[in-house]
Amino acid sequence: MSGSRSKSGENSEKILTEISGKMTMLISKIDVMAGAFQEIGTLLRTQGKTFENIFDITKKTSENKSPQDGQIALPLLREMNDIQADIEASRQKELIATLWNRSLNERKQSFWNMMRCKYISMIYQEWRSKENPILPEKFLIREIEGECQQETEIRANLALSRLDAEISLLRTRMQRYEEKFNSIDTAMITEISERTSGQIEEKLQGLWKQATKREEEKSATIWLKQDEWFQNYEASYGDKSILKRRKKSFDI
């Protein structure tokens, strides 16, 4: 019995030793493959290429192989290519960091100005269309003691005309700012297309769109606070007079 147990133990130890040896070899091969992929990636970048080229060749070759071979190889190559494209897109972004940041900042300002002009012109137009128009503070006319009604009406009409002109100006500026940030987008997309192509181009364009979307969301958040001010102004407009009343001697 003891001899049988001893022999069984020796066999188990031998099997474990073989498994350990094979695992060591497997890990070593994985390390070698990882290093090879890094070297290939570096070499491809110096040539302005990515794993996408290898993927295309492998895809054509796999068409002559069994479906099972393709199911194993293609997903791995797709993942490798996607990772490599992300890395290269980030590298290209760093190469144009100065242009990228300057363009993004200019676009942010233009988009904010466009949004502000758009919404303020809409608010002013709504105020202007009311039966008793609401004038912004800067267009209110001051009460003049002893002035006749006809003169007051003339000045009131002038104030409304100034509001109409302000609305037109805001709409014109809105169009100018919109053209500005659209031209910045076009210039950046052109720059990306000249520097990259294929999947890397798509990745880099995606990074630009994500960055501009974040800035637009920030602008929208800022506007919500300003819009609240306009709502409060309208709510506290009082008797909706276009006159800025003179304070009486007993007013505080």
Model confidence, pTM: 0.67
**Among candidates 103, 51, 53, which has minimal Cα distance to 80?**
51
CB 81 within 8 A of CB 51: yes
d(CA 74, CA 67): 10
CB 51 within 8 A of CB 41: yes
What is the per-residue pLDDT for 211? 96
pLDDT in tens, 21-49: 666 766 665 565 555 556 556 655 555 55
CB 111 within 8 A of CB 211: no
What is the per-residue pLDDT for 131? 86
d(CA 198, CA 78): 14
**Among candidates 142, 173, 143, 141, which has minimal Cα distance to 158?**
141
